Amino acid sequence: MRKTKSIQPKGKQKFAFVVDGECEFWYIHMLKRNEKSINVDLKPEIPQKKKNYDQFKKVVELSADYDKVFWIIDFDVIKIETLKAKRGTKTALLEFKEYCDEINNSFENVVVIINNPCLEYWILLHFETTSKYYETCDGVTKQLKKYLPEYNKSQVFYTKQDNDIYLRLKPLLSKAITNAERLEKFDFHNPDSGMSEMQLFFNTEQIKKIIGTK
In sequence order, what are the beta bridge partners of 69? 16, 110
Helix axis angle for 92-106 and 52-63, nearest 10°, is 10
Greater pLDDT, 30 or 36: 30
- Residues 7, 13: contact at Cβ < 8 Å? yes
Question: CA distances (Å), 50 to each of 22, 45, 135, 187, 191, in order?
Answer: 11, 11, 21, 23, 21
Q: In the chain, where are the structural domains located?
A: 13-204
Tell me what pLDDT residue 3 has. Answer: 55
Tell me what pLDDT residue 211 has. Answer: 75
Give the separation between CA 133 and CA 111, rounded to whole angstroms.
23
Q: What is the pLDDT of residues 115-172, one digit of tens each?
A: 999 999 999 999 999 999 999 999 999 999 999 999 999 999 999 999 999 999 999 9
DSSP 59-93: HHHHHTT-SEEEEEEEHHHHHHHHHHPPTTSPPHH
Give the separation between CA 213 and CA 170, rounded to whole angstroms.
10
The average pLDDT across 3-15 equals: 63
In sequence order, what are the beta bridge partners of 72? 19, 113
